[in-house]
Amino acid sequence: MSRRRDIYIGDIQGFWEPLERLLDKLAFDPASDRLCLAGDLVNRGGKSLKVLRRIVALGEPHFSVLGNHDLHLLAYAHMHPKVRKPNPEFEKILNHAEGGRILEWLRAQPLLWLNEADRIALVHAGIDPRWDRDQARKSAAEVEQALTGKKFGKFIDNMYGNEPDRWAPDQKRFVRLRTTTNVLTRMRFAKSDGRLDFKSSGDMNDPPKDFRPWFEMLDKSWRDWSVVFGHWSMLGYHNYQNSQAICLDSGCVWGGALTALVVEEGERRIESVDCG
């Protein structure tokens, strides 16, 4: 059976019931549709294990790009049992019979996915304004290789931190991996030189001085593409410049909505369900 639709869904964050209602509303068929999830599958909704088991069981071609909360789960598992503050949602995953399989699946997910046919890019947070498509793919691939490679533990040990606040190609490897991870999974406001802001609350109408939303400064190589992302719940569903950038994080975690972009035979539409 040929694929009928690609379904892009914003941040689920452990909210299993809204996910099921959205899939029911879309009459989701795993045999002919493809789920393309924007990351942050886990943490805060209480049903992170159910969300992950549901998605992992679907198998290919369904996937998610990794968000900061997904990476936090991997870090939590790496640090366990030395973790300082127990996370009940994460503990359920680690203690489940399928926990190991779920974590292996998560480690194998991309940080950036490019759909050449539809000219759609999927990322959790954003893309450095200085990156063209080739550099974005190369940078994401370096992190993906670290997640699945023998030095996974060293990557996790060096992943956290706000410094340096911009990516540079000549940084030492694990510093560069950290800055790349911050771009792809944490950025909201940036400067044209790639400098990131980590202090703002995320209100688009009140940006930090001299900073702008990253998607307003995309490299010209993205001009005919749509960059689909999540992460920015205060922004909510947002369609920038005739779909050059589309935010699907409509704040399910705060009682907002869970939103999907449905692409079918070149046509696009938005569907959502309330999370209240």
Residues 6+ apart with CB under 8 A from 145: none
Pair 231, 246: CB distance under 8 Å? no
Pair 184, 125: CB distance under 8 Å? yes
Domains observed in the chain: 5-274 (3.60.21.10)
pLDDT of residue 250: 96
- Torsions phi, psi of 211, nearest 5? -105, 155
- In angstroms, the CA 224 to CA 244 distance is 7
The low-confidence residues of the chain, meaning pLDDT below 70, are 1-3
Strand bridging mode 267-274 / 257-264: antiparallel
* pLDDT (tens digit per residue) in 115-148: 999 999 999 999 999 999 999 999 999 999 999 9
- In angstroms, the CA 107 to CA 46 distance is 21
pLDDT of residue 202: 87
- Angle among Cα 237, 241, 244 to the nearest 5 degrees reads 80
pLDDT of residue 201: 82
CA distances to 101, 163, 196, 247, 262 from 105, rounded to whole Å, are 6, 29, 30, 25, 24
pLDDT of residue 83: 75
* pLDDT (tens digit per residue) in 170-205: 999 999 999 999 999 999 999 999 999 999 988 888
pLDDT of residue 2: 64
pLDDT of residue 1: 53
Which among 240, 149, 128, 250 has a CA at the least distance from the CA of 192? 128
pLDDT of residue 18: 98
